[in-house]
Structure 1
Amino acid sequence: MIELQLIGIGTGNPDHLTAQAARAINEADLVLVPRKGDAKSDLVDLRHGICAAVLTRPVRVVEFDLPVRAAGGDYLGGVNAWHDAIAQAWAEQIARHLPDGGRLALLVWGDPSLYDSSLRIADRLRHSGVAISVRVVPGITSLQALTAAHAIPLNDLGAPVVITTGRMLRAQGWPEGADTVAVMLDQGSAFAALAPGGVTIWWGAYLGMAQEALESGALEQAAGRITRTRAELRARHGWIMDIYLMRKSRPD
């Protein structure tokens, strides 16, 4: 039996790690660290840094190549095929490094419950015949880090919040009935598709990291700054992780 521990590690800052997460990493027999290509090699380094900061006993930390999602075509079909490939990669690492069972830890950015597919991939692993139990250790999400960095509440008083993706915002516009919208996984400036009047935006990239960048203001003024800053940061680092919150002003 494999005990799969999906450990939320926040946004890469070791200070975001909970005491529960630190204990779980130390209880593991194996920590798997995915490699996503040279452009994101510092994400691998961040995971190694977290392990080095909290480990108090010898634990094997093994890197593996994460399958690449095919570009173009049917989006959901491509994601499902990608998840199948990742589940197969996990199974291969388990067979190689934990043939007699044990505790496997995967360090998940943010929290495994929020726009992360580790739990769905774990289900694929179980359905493929791998004997696993799953334990989730919650982590600080990028949404929490964003609101903390800007010192703002997530919701307006008594008002709902919608969490969506850049792809959905671009395709469907502002979600009906929402005063506040949090947008994740935006490939770039989906907010530009909105009518900016009366909208305030709070944006952040590399939250909690040394290269953290923040912008905020009325959308009609801030949109251009955010787009330029995002492009500059992506060119400089080779990758970017960002998130933003938008709120419509309520009529008096």
Structure 2
Amino acid sequence: MSGERSGTTAVPRALRGTSAVVFDTDGVVTDSARMHAAAWKTAFDSFLRARGPEGQPPFDVCGDYLRYVDGKSRLDGAAAFLRARGLRPSGTEIQAVAAHKEALFTERLRAEGVDAYPGTVRLVRTLRSAGMPLAAVSASRHAGELLERAGVRDFFDVLVDGAEAGRLALPGKPDPALFLEAARRLGVPARQAAVVEDALAGVEAGRRGGFGLVVGVDRAHTPDTRGALLKHGADLVVDDLAELMGEG
């Protein structure tokens, strides 16, 4: 397939042969992963102080966030982290921690707003100019608000968020259901589409879904996180999506 579509802009080399691109939202399009991580830390640390055994280390916003909650639904993420600490939380306790995190995140989002990554915006503008169909995907029910506040919602033809996942009973990542639903709505087979993700669970979902290209975004910029993204199924890893246009 050539690098030209209905527009006059060339598709970046790494994405040539791709008919559509599905972007994760938090940490890929919007700089909101840090807000999620901070909210999780407050919620988890509060729970560990009240319920966990003495000496439990606090939630780590880098390692624990990437390993247990990034890219997952709130309930799945809460359960994964607490069980990893050797706890046996009840369903009610898992829901309470998830609800606490939700309230903290919502308060911070409304107070501070959120920005889109400039490199992502440049890539998305280029792909739109080339006529490439684009989707945004997120396990979060806030994805639409995040994209609106960052001023980039109109760039995406399709949005499949946590609310849609709940309505359709779609399982969370690393199951590929969210990405496959986005590709279906774009009218493109997964093998002809690319997935762009920063979360290990999301990269694994893209690989499981049979997508033609899985791009990992390493916002931590470390050999360990880069290696983990590749191990979970990324075909290539970049620190910023501007690199796909030869700008990185």
Q: What TM-score, normalized to structure 2?
A: 0.33
Which protein is bigger by CA-based radius of gyration? 1
Please report the TM-score for the alignment, with normalisation by the length of structure 1.
Answer: 0.32
